């Protein structure tokens, strides 16, 4: 459960596209949400302007949060205590990570891009540095795909790519939290990219019962069925918590185009996945897959880094 949310801002309108999402999650979890600007050496604007900007933005967020409070269990009187603002000095990426760790932040929400803010952040570069090393969950919002009105109850349709490893499955706990906070009418889709089966080139058609085409079809079906059996186990886990779940096995020689194509073809409003996986059940380098999806995906993306002690788990 997210009790403390951090929203780094560089002063640009693009960076502020994350605010409607932060407001929705703040209301749902009744979380303390901190708007943060890092004042770096050499910024063209004085420190006072940064403080005025972040304070003004926090006030706007409080007003918007009060508007949606009656639709949730959030008390209007509690809103002023939930939204805070902070300006600190230092290097943007390292300062954000340090602040998040020291403040025991549960979720960082960042824009994938920023532009012409009060500082010289280069938000895209900062966001990449943060989600690449953060052990705190990071929600990346692509500003091209957002507006100032996020549907109430967001997210309602969540895609969760899994690779068959215990590490990739750590995202499921976060999905449970999202859907257990008075979420109604939403659903989760679990998808696994199944590698095409290895087929021998010198298929002895003369002595085999099946034709080559039938053999390929049967082997492909078996590979897909194995993935569905695995996904079905995770489906039961989530359905036991009252969450509606769909499962899908997709064949593909490369996980990146298979997953990105699946995202483009379906109306998900959030993709949730771990930044690391890769076990005996999968040859996909899951960290690389997550990094590439960030680059090409415009849907909101929740990234979870598995606990450090999971790196030693040898999945069977």
- Confidence (pTM): 0.85
The full set of domain ranges for the chain reads 4-145, 157-312
Asked if residue 155 has a cis previous peptide bond (ω within 30° of 0), the answer is yes
Query: In a 3-state reduction of DSSP, which class is residue 106?
Result: coil
Superfamily of domain 157-312: HUPs (3.40.50.620)
State pLDDT tens for residues 107-134.
999 988 655 555 555 566 788 888 888 9
Q: What are phi and psi of 164, to 5 degrees?
A: 95, -5
Q: How many residues does the chain have?
A: 316
Average pLDDT in the 95-109 region?
Answer: 96
User: Which of residues 19 and 121 earns the better pLDDT score?
Assistant: 19
State pLDDT tens for residues 48-81.
888 999 999 999 999 999 988 877 778 888 888 9
CA dihedral 307→308→311→314, nearest 10 degrees, is -60
Architecture of domain 4-145: 3-Layer(aba) Sandwich (3.40)
């Amino acid at each position: 459960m997210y009790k403390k949310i951090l929203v780094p801002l560089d002063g640009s309108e693009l960076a502020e596209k994350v605010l409607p999402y932060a407001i929705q999650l703040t209301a749902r979890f009744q979380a303390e949400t901190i708007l943060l600007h890092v004042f770096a050496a050499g910024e063209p604007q004085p420190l006072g302007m940064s403080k005025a900007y972040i304070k003004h933005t926090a006030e706007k967020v409080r007003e918007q949060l009060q508007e949606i409070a009656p639709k949730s269990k959030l008390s209007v009187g509690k809103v002023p205590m939930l939204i805070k603002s902070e300006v600190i000095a230092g290097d943007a990426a390292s300062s954000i990570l340090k602040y998040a760790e020291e403040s025991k932040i549960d979720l960082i929400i960042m824009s994938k891009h920023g532009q012409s803010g009060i500082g010289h952040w280069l938000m895209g570069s900062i966001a990449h540095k943060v989600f690449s090393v953060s052990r705190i969950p990071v929600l990346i919002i692509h500003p091209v795909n957002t507006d100032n009105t996020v549907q109430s109850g967001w997210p309602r349709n969540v895609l969760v790519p899994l690779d068959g490893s215990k590490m990739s499955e750590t995202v499921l706990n976060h999905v449970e939290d999202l859907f257990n906070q008075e979420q109604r009418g939403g659903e989760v889709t679990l998808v696994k990219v199944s590698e095409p089966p290895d087929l021998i080139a010198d298929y002895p058609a003369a002595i085999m019962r099946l034709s080559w085409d039938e053999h390929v079809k049967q082997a492909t079906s078996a590979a897909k069925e194995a993935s569905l059996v695995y996904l079905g186990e995770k489906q039961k886990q989530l359905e036991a918590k009252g969450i509606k779940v769909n499962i899908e096995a997709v064949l593909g020689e490369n996980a990146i185009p298979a997953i990105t194509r699946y995202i483009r073809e379906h109306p998900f409003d959030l993709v949730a996945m771990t930044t690391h996986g890769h076990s005996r059940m999968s040859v996909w380098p899951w960290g690389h897959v997550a990094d590439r999806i960030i680059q090409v995906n415009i849907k909101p993306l929740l990234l979870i880094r598995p606990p450090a002690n999971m790196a030693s788990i040898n999945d069977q």
